[in-house]
């Protein structure tokens, strides 16, 4: 008799993310022939630019197909250091930068390298759910700090101060944010940095992966540039996935104190070793190469953002804040809770609402519960304007079929 599989305690009850589960269900319906539009996935629909592909092909032809230095070739690290200096005003030495298979691996390496059982990590919520799971796998305790829509989904100094304990190891910040699209300007970061200065045992992890996707006159800034005194306890994470439409290539990088960077390399050495040599060649071309096309892509994302925000706000019972960046809207569906579908079911949660939209409108969106705040739903608008327009028309038509009780949106 074979023993049934029992997961290790560090995995506990973690499953694959709700986002992947919804996307998989939507994909299955699509294969059955339903005209499903999926607004669930967090990746740009643009293609990787040609000059990046060409660099990868050249690397293959030159035989750059072997292991490289563990956490990035010298040339990769040079390109990362140049990027941090050029775009962020941050100066790092060669042993203060690292590269791995995605920003996700940077987060994972950092947590595995730094957390002991019971160490707390403050996570402003709603957030990208991997933060919770990675902290948990690494033996830490995720501490969710609610950041309501009324605060622009941003962490306040008061809430941060209240969440810090002697066990706090890290504060994680992500701007622009997945799932809300909210971003921190200098004026939002400064009060938080002041709190951190008063608590020298708290480290700061910054996830800048959506740095290049910002709108209107919002000016992106990274916290370490505002307060260089945090340099010995700040890890700045970034990657090529979102800016350069390179989600499948898998390259993330980080800058931080040499001892932490060395610890992260130890973790990586027993997990994936070096990032792909070909991907490194492509990523060097991405970081060193022309950046002008980012402006066009930003403009395209901004138009799509308008389509979604305007359409959502025209629906009775839905309220959507205009995001400063990333490619997500995080709209309240509070006004939909309690409404009754034509089939006679009452919508009791954002999960119900999203499941019903998939069934009724053939549109897949992700409930706020997946990110730690309800009743909301996230739309990823990294898809064509035509598809977005059609999806929003379907959502609008479906919502018009719901019957009372009439609720007024409040926040």
List interacting residues with ligand PLP (CB under 6 A).
42, 102-104, 128, 174, 178, 207, 209, 239, 241, 247, 252
3-state helix, strand, coil in the chain (%, to 5): 45, 15, 40
Smallest gap from residue 107 Cβ to ligand PLP (A) = 7
Rg for the chain, CA atoms, rounded: 22
Comparison of 102 and 317: residue with beta carbon closer to ligand PLP: 102
Looking up tokens 């709209």 gives: 331
The least CB distance from residue 398 to ligand PLP, in Å, is: 27
Q: How far is the CB of 121 from ligand PLP (least distance, A)?
A: 15
137 preceded by a cis bond (ω within 30 of 0): no
Q: Which is nearer to ligand PLP, 104 or 360 (CB)?
A: 104
Residues in the chain: 411
Smallest distance, ligand PLP to C-beta of residue 6, A: 29
Provide, rounded to whole angstroms, the least separation between the CB of residue 281 and ligand PLP. Answer: 17
Task: Closer to ligand PLP by CB, 99 or 363: give it.
Answer: 99
- CB of 131: closest distance to ligand PLP in angstroms? 8
Q: Per residue, what are the HEC states of 208-256?
A: CCCCCCECCCCCCCCHHHHCHHHHHHEEEEEECCCCCCCCCCCCEEEEC
The answer to whether the beta carbons of residues 241 and 102 sit under 8 Å apart is yes
Write the DSSP symbol of residue 345.
Answer: P
**Which tokens hold the place of 390?**
């059609």
- Least Å from the CB of residue 94 to ligand PLP: 22
Smallest distance, Å, CB 104 to ligand PLP? 3
> How far, CA to CA in Å, does 91 sit from each of 74, 110, 217, 256, 331?
16, 20, 26, 10, 38
Tell me the C-alpha distance between 402 and 408, whole Å: 15
Identify the three-state secondary structure at position 181.
Answer: coil
Burial of 44 (0-12, 13-18, 19+ CB in 10 A): buried
Minimum Å gap between C-beta 380 and ligand PLP is: 9
Report which of 396, 378, 400 is spatially closest to residue 39, judged by C-alpha positions: 378
What's the CA angle centered on 225, arms 220 and 231, to 5 degrees?
140
Which CB atom, from 115 or from 246, has the smaller least distance to ligand PLP?
Answer: 246
Task: Output 218 or 409, the one with its CB closest to ligand PLP.
Answer: 218
Place of tokens 């951190």: 196
HSE on the CB side for 11, CA within 13 Å? 6
Is residue 101 classed as helix, strand or coil in its secondary structure? coil
Residue (26 or 361) nearer to ligand PLP, CB: 26
Of 104 and 212, the one with the shorter C-beta distance to ligand PLP is: 104
* Lookup: tokens for 296: 């066009």
Name the residue whose CB lies closest to ligand PLP: 102
User: Which of 115, 209 has the CB closer to ligand PLP?
Assistant: 209
Minimum distance, C-beta of residue 247 to ligand PLP, in the bound complex (Å): 5
C-beta of 73 vs 178, nearer to ligand PLP: 178
CB nearer ligand PLP, residue 318 or residue 365: 365
Grouping H, G, I as helix, E, B as strand and the rest as coil, residue 176 is coil
Phi, psi of 380 (to 5 degrees): -95, 120
């Amino acid at each position: 008799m074979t023993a049934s599989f029992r997961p290790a305690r560090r995995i506990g009850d973690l499953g694959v993310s709700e986002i992947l589960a919804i996307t998989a269900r939507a994909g299955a319906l699509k294969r059955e022939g339903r005209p499903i539009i999926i607004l669930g996935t967090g990746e740009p629909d643009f293609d990787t630019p040609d000059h990046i592909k060409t660099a990868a092909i050249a690397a293959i032809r030159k035989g750059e197909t072997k292991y490289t230095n563990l956490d990035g070739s010298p040339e990769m690290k040079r390109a990362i250091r140049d990027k941090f200096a050029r775009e962020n005003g941050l100066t790092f030495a060669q042993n203060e930068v690292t590269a791995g298979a995605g920003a996700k691996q940077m987060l994972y390496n950092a947590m595995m390298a730094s957390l002991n059982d019971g160490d707390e990590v403050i996570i402003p919520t709603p957030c990208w759910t991997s933060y919770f799971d990675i902290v948990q796998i690494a033996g830490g305790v995720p501490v969710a700090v609610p950041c309501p829509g009324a605060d622009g989904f941003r962490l306040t100094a008061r809430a941060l101060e209240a969440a810090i304990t002697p066990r706090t190891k890290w504060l994680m910040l992500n701007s622009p944010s997945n799932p809300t699209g909210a971003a921190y300007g200098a004026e939002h970061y400064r009060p938080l940095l002041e709190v951190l200065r008063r608590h020298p045992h708290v480290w700061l992890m910054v996830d800048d992966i959506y740095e290049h996707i910002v709108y209107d006159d919002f000016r992106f800034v990274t916290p370490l540039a505002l307060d260089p005194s945090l340099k010995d306890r700040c890890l700045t994470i970034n990657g090529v996935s979102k800016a350069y439409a390179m989600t499948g290539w898998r390259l993330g990088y980080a800058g931080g104190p040499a001892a932490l960077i060395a610890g992260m390399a130890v973790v990586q050495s027993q997990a994936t070793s070096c990032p792909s040599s070909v991907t490194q060649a492509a990523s060097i071309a991405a970081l060193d190469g022309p950046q002008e096309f980012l402006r066009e892509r930003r403009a395209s994302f901004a138009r799509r953002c308008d389509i979604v925000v305007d359409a959502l706000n025209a629906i009775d019972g839905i309220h959507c804040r205009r995001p400063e960046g990333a490619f997500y809207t995080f709209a309240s569906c509070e006004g939909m809770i309690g409404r009754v579908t034509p089939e006679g079911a009452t919508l009791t949660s954002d999960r119900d609402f999203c499941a019903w939209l998939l069934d009724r409108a053939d549109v897949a969106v992700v409930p706020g519960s997946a990110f730690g705040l309800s009743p909301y739903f996230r739309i990823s608008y990294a898809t064509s304007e035509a598809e977005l327009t059609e999806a929003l028309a379907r959502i609008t038509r479906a919502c018009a079929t719901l019957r009372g009780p009439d609720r007024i949106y409040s926040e």
